[in-house]
Homo-oligomer: A and B are copies of this chain.
Amino acid sequence: MIDVCLLGCGGMMPLPGRFLTSLYVRTDGRAVLIDCGEGTQTAVRCADLRFKCIDDVLITHYHADHVSGLPGLLLTLGNEGRTAPLRMHGPAGLKRVVSAMRVIVPELPYEVEIDELPAEGATFSVAGSLRAVAFPADHGMPCFGYALYLDRPGKFDPAKARRNGVPLSLWSRLQAGKALDGFRPEDVLGEARRGLSLLYSTDTRPVADMVRLGKECDLMVLEGMFGDPEKDERARVTHHMTMREAAEIARDAQPARLWLTHFSPATPHPEEYLEEMQTLFPRLQMGECGLKETLNFVQAAQQLKTLSSWE
């Protein structure tokens, strides 16, 4: 199960009633935060979420609206009693940005570990059990989108365990995912089952990895900076993505649902474009601050079965 909350849906600058775009993803009691603009810590409180379970922070890029909330977040994590290290991941430059922001929060009761990802992207673990894949976005500067996967092992298969000569005393530990005494979990498990996945990408032109990595995922969160076709050229020039482009990506990738976010401050009412965008991808929803969804295995299986009937 994965709990997801879109903390904010704004781009460029926070507005009254609209926090900057940030995503909070929690599974098994541990959480990862993607992007942290000014006000994100308040958005966490507004959404009634916890700070203490945040293990990792993923940053897409270093424009102010995606990182200006870092000093406040770091300080608040300390005030909330954090002592465990916080891991931060982002494009090259992360160390420089965090060091600069920490000029106003020099002392913290925990370590901040910096993971600068290679330009071509990387795969790494976050929030305990999530597999994160960073992929290069197209924003005219180093910028990543992130796909998150909660893998799901196969069912326990006693016949297979016996076939592989696994002693009974090891079954439960192997089933729990622990390799031991020369045996691997695969020796007692059936084929891996479909897990859960989501993809977050903002401040970018469309890139092929969105479809490839987000294929039939449970949730896509994509930038829909502009709805008005008159802004198409502006989106191209400023390396942003329009609502239409995001919907077309979803049409190709067929996620269970698509949330649009990172709305331009000049678009106070993105829902005006909802109907039009749903003609391109029906399971599209306009992001709102505090929008929550729980992704779970059963639902995912059902969704895949019913995908065609939703169209």
For A14, A64, A96, the residue with the greatest tally of chain B CB atoms inside 10 Å of its CB is: A64
Q: Is A169 an interface residue (CB 8 A)?
A: no
Smallest Cβ-Cβ distance to A75: which chain B residue? B64
Which chain B residues border A96 with CB–CB below 8 Å?
Answer: 103
Q: Is the CB–CB distance between B15 and A45 below 8 Å?
A: yes
Which chain B residues border A100 with CB–CB below 8 Å?
Answer: 100-101, 103-104
In this complex, the interface size class of chain A, counting residues with CB under 8 Å from chain B, is: 20 to 34
* Copies assembled: 2
Complex: A38 Cα to B13 Cα, angstroms: 12
Which chain B residues border A12 with CB–CB below 8 Å?
Answer: 75, 79
Q: Is A33 an interface residue (CB 8 A)?
A: no
Q: Is the CB–CB distance between B71 and A104 below 8 Å?
A: no
Map CB proximity to B onto A50-75 as digits: 1 under 8 Å, 0 otherwise.
Answer: 00000000000011110111011001
Q: Is A76 an interface residue (CB 8 A)?
A: yes
Smallest Cβ-Cβ distance to A37: which chain B residue? B72
Q: Is the CB–CB distance between A16 and B46 below 8 Å?
A: yes
Q: Which residue of B46, B62, B65, B71 is within 8 Å of A38 (Cβ)?
A: B71
Which chain B residues border A105 with CB–CB below 8 Å?
Answer: 64
